[in-house]
């Protein structure tokens, strides 16, 4: 299985599937369809005869029950796109076999080192095989590791009919990285009772809480006057943007927060003296504090308009997704099953909140409860990204064990 996982993962990451937040289509980039079509065809070749891809790129398929039961129907979901914030084309992954626990030179020319001094979690993988980048692109384990694990598990089950299971749905989505992964996902058509996204980080992660999320785009209208004649007249939109940012609490930034702590994150700043735009993401696990954070942003904009004149600052504030905890807790047995699966495989479950979001958070509010399970990768969205091959193997085994446990529960019922 490990060799199959390796070859499949390397094949998937060779495909450029970056999403594009400036696009208005779904998927946001046509190149995602290349991989999605390939996955559909692979599922058909495995014998999942109902595998389809719709006009928006969503791939859905069913592994029929072989235990004589009709349900419940469980599902596994992953996304194919990679982050638009880091190059994801011409990826040149490298295998570091029998990792010695020390520094890994990613790129000699760039003097780029992946070091446990910076990433101490690397040490737990000594003796394993790490897949790393060449220091010029991301790797794409987010979420091609998840795709690999689901596809490998499906293929294993088709070759081992002695493993009895109920009906299993498979779903692959585009555009998760730009927050639009399930905009047109047809939950009713999918037909699952609950699902798991394979989109988490290190081995053992099991998550059913995530941030409440909003995005804030602030347009700033300045007054550009020749600097020689600017006194009392110029309003520099770039400096006005900096002034607004200074109103936000310094220690409520991602680099100063952890666990359940929320933040304001300045993600983009562009423009000129005449006009500028700044963009933030606003995050908090607590819904009440989340609403307070949005109000703080509104208050800052109002304060700046009072200072520079009405209309100088225009705020576009939109909610993006919500904490799935309230949708998962009523069906907590689905988390318990995943936890039991890990324990039976001698994997320590690490149940913690996601400091981000997944397709599962939105699917949960669309009527499909969907906790998140580790895919095995680290340092997503950057050149230091890596994934242990053994973690992907363990994640695949967790999928198989969940399916097996669910099949046993059906038989006992």
Q: Where in the sequence numbering do the catalytic residues fall?
A: 81, 176
From CA 143, how far away is CA 356, in angstroms rounded?
A: 14
DSSP string, 343-360: HHTT---EE--BSS--HH
Structure tokens at 268: 């983009």
- DSSP element (H, E) containing 172: strand 168-173
Q: CB-hemisphere CA count at 13 Å for 62? A: 14
Cis peptide leading into residue 143 (ω within 30°) = yes
From CA 38, how far away is CA 114, in angstroms rounded?
A: 32
* b (16+ CB within 10 A) / e for 62-74: bbebeeebeeebb
Structure tokens at 239: 């400096």
From CA 13, how far away is CA 387, in angstroms rounded?
A: 12
């Amino acid at each position: 299985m490990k060799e199959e996982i390796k070859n499949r993962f390397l094949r998937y990451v060779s495909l450029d599937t970056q999403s594009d937040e400036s696009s208005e289509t779904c998927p946001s980039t046509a190149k995602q369809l290349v991989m999605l079509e390939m996955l559909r065809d692979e599922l058909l070749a495995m014998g999942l005869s109902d595998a389809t891809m719709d006009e928006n790129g969503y791939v859905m398929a069913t592994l029929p029950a072989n235990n004589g039961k009709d349900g419940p129907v469980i599902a596994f979901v992953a996304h194919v796109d990679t982050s638009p914030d880091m190059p994801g084309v011409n990826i040149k992954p490298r295998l570091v076999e029998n990792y010695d626990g020390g520094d890994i030179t990613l790129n000699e020319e760039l003097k780029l080192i992946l070091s446990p001094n910076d990433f101490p979690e690397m040490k737990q993988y000594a003796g394993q095989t790490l897949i790393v980048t060449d220091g010029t692109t991301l790797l794409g384990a987010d979420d091609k590791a998840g795709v690999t694990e689901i596809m490998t598990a499906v293929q294993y089950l088709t070759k081992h009919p002695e493993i009895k299971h109920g009906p299993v749905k498979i779903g692959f989505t585009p555009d998760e990285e730009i927050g639009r992964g399930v905009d047109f996902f047809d939950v009713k058509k999918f037909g699952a009772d609950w699902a798991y996204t394979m989109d988490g980080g290190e081995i053992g992660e099991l998550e059913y809480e995530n941030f409440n999320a909003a995005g804030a785009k602030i347009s700033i209208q300045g007054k550009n006057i020749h600097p020689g004649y600017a006194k009392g007249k110029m309003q520099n939109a770039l400096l006005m943007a900096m002034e607004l940012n200074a109103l936000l609490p310094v220690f409520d930034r991602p680099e100063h927060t952890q666990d359940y702590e929320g933040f304001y994150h300045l993600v983009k700043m562009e423009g000129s003296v005449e006009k500028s735009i700044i963009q933030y993401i606003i995050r908090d696990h607590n819904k009440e504090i989340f609403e307070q954070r949005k109000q703080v942003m509104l208050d800052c904009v109002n304060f700046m308009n009072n200072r520079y004149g009405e209309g100088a600052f225009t705020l576009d504030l939109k909610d993006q997704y919500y904490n799935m905890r309230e949708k998962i807790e009523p069906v907590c047995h689905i988390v318990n099953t995943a936890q039991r699966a890990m324990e039976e495989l001698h994997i320590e479950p690490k149940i913690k909140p996601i400091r981000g979001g997944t397709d599962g958070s939105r699917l949960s509010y669309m009527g499909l409860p969907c906790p998140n399970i580790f895919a095995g990768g680290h340092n997503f969205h950057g050149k230091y990204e890596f994934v242990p091959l053994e973690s992907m193997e363990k994640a695949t085994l967790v999928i198989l064990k969940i399916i097996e446990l669910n099949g046993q529960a059906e038989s006992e019922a």
